[in-house]
Amino acid sequence: MNDAQLTSPALATSAQPREPLPLGALLALATAGFITVLTEAMPSGLLPQMSASLDVSQALIGQLVTMYAIGSLLAAIPLTLATRGWRRRPLLLSAIAGFAVANSLTAVSELYWLTLLARFIAGVFAGLLWALLAGYASRMVAPHLQGRAITVAMLGAPLALSLGIPVGTLLGTVVGWRLSFAIMTGLTLLLVVWVRLQVPDFDGERAGKRLPLRQVLTLPGVRSVLFVTLSYVVAHNLLYTYIAPFLQPSGLANAIDRVLLVFGLASVLSLWIVGSLIDRWLRELVLISTMLFMLSAVALGLWRDSALVIYIATAVWGLAFGAMPSLLQTASAKTAKDAADTAQSMLVTLWNVGIAGGGLLGGLLLEGVGVGHFPWIVAALLVSTLYAAVNARMHGFPGAK
């Protein structure tokens, strides 16, 4: 899994919007997202090595990912609210540096509980980081380029999922899991220097401009964006988490890496396509993304035993999902305006709830109706997603003006 604050007279006193995209600064933010996602998922590819080294079961190593998600879930809203008055670059640097601390602790830990604590710490900083990225990107550019800037800043997540995790797994196999986390620390320290040199600083929110959480939640359109986020992410993770058992009838059970690579590459392509359109056609792109995902789910339900359909439907699914974080974060930022960071923290929290909810719902359904019914349940969830997005035409997902 992915965040914002818009430029306004009260907030943009430190820098003026720039007409061209500041690619160096935006790519630094994308790298922060890359490190965040890679840190989150790396234990999944290193289960055997970490299990043997820490002398616990692979199931317990799997909880390192869970603990990371719990840290993000618990921290995003309260940390964002507590730091609204901080200057943005020192806060961003603190969040990034937190990953260096957490990954260093993971690399040297000989105790499972200490490793678990390090993962929780990493999750806490991830919750704060994702609440900052989209807003930071939007404040570096003119209003008509904000969606494109957010798309560039979000590029790190799909790259980490499609390329970073396989590379991280290979690296762990070659040099060991401890050195892999140590290398992550080194990359994080380099990123700190990059951000310090190229990313501009901004003021925090002034005390008189800080809306309470409840008021932000009642801003027109905010709840629509949050509902679409939750329902879409639950649908995605219901299928994504249990892709392995779903692939068995098609004979692709041993080709999960190739299927997920197709998904990841399509996700990156989606970002490239959407990047030039997002500022003018945000509503239309959200509706298209939801419908494409729904169509791919239906195809997976009808032709589950066909390897060819699996690959095609997975590519369409990747095209649908890849840019959705950018679309939702852009919608949230534009809807909440000066309260965008707070709205983004709620979006980050619900994104993590969606990840956990999809996994939990899938586990219950797997033991009940079976994995073959998953595409139809996903399609049903997406009907409610589409309904909410269609009806948010005035606020949340307004049409092009």
**Tell me, what's the pLDDT at 207?**
64
Best CA proximity match to 129, nearest among 104, 148, 102: 102
> What is the fold, at CATH topology level, of the domain defined by 23-209?
Growth Hormone; Chain: A; (1.20.1250)
Length of the chain in terms of residues written: 401
**Tell me, what's the pLDDT at 288?**
94
Are the C-beta atoms of 98 and 104 separated by less than 8 Å? Answer: no
Q: How many other CB atoms are found less than 10 A from the CB of residue 172?
A: 22
Residues of the chain with CATH 1.20.1250.20: 23-209, 213-390
The domain defined by 213-390 carries CATH number 3.40.190.90: no
**Tell me, what's the pLDDT at 90?**
94
pTM as predicted: 0.79
Task: Give the C-alpha separation, 177 to 211, whole Å.
Answer: 44
Task: Give the C-alpha separation, 368 to 95, whole Å.
Answer: 41
| Neighbouring residues of 382: CB distance < 8 A, sequence distance ≥ 6 | 231, 232, 235, 290, 293, 294, 297
Please give the average pLDDT of every successive group of 10 residues along the chain, which has 401 residues.
35 46 92 90 79 85 82 88 89 95 95 94 93 86 85 83 71 86 94 95 74 82 92 89 77 76 86 83 93 95 89 94 88 81 85 81 78 90 94 82 56
Are the C-beta atoms of 200 and 14 separated by less than 8 Å? Answer: yes
Task: Give the C-alpha separation, 360 to 333, whole Å.
Answer: 29
Are the C-beta atoms of 176 and 169 separated by less than 8 Å? Answer: no
DSSP state of 170: H
Helices (H), 279-373: 282-302, 307-322, 324-336, 340-367
- 337 Rama class: left (phi>0) / alpha (psi -120 to 50) / beta: left
**Tell me, what's the pLDDT at 275?**
79
How many angstroms separate the first and last alpha carbons of the chain?
Answer: 31
